[in-house]
Amino acid sequence: MEISREHFEGLVREAVMSLPEDFRLNMDNVSIIVADEPTPSQLTDNGLSQHDVLYGLYEGVPLPERGSYMPTLPDLITIFQTPIERAARDIDELQDQIVTTVRHEVAHYFGFSDLEIDEMGLG
| Residue 75 confidence class, pLDDT cut points 50, 70, 90 | very high
Pure H helices in 1-123: 5-17, 21-25, 40-45, 81-87, 91-109, 114-119
User: Between 67 and 114, whose confidence is greater?
Assistant: 114
- Percent of the chain with pLDDT strictly greater than 90: 71
The mean of the pLDDT values for the chain is 91
- Percent of the chain with pLDDT strictly greater than 70: 93
Give the C-alpha distances (Å, rounded to integers) separating 108 from 4, 36, 96, 123: 27, 21, 19, 11
The answer to whether the beta carbons of residues 67 and 114 sit under 8 Å apart is no
Candidate CATH numbers 3.30.2010.20, 3.90.1150.10, 1.20.1260.10, 3.40.50.620; the one for domain 5-117: 3.30.2010.20
| Residue 74 confidence class, pLDDT cut points 50, 70, 90 | confident
Domain boundaries, the chain: 5-117
pLDDT over 80 (residue 115):
yes
pLDDT over 80 (residue 14):
yes
pLDDT over 90 (residue 7):
yes
pLDDT digits (tens, 9 = 90+) for 17-60: 999 898 899 998 899 999 999 999 999 999 999 899 999 999 99
pLDDT score for 32: 97
The answer to whether the beta carbons of residues 67 and 47 sit under 8 Å apart is no
pLDDT over 90 (residue 79):
yes
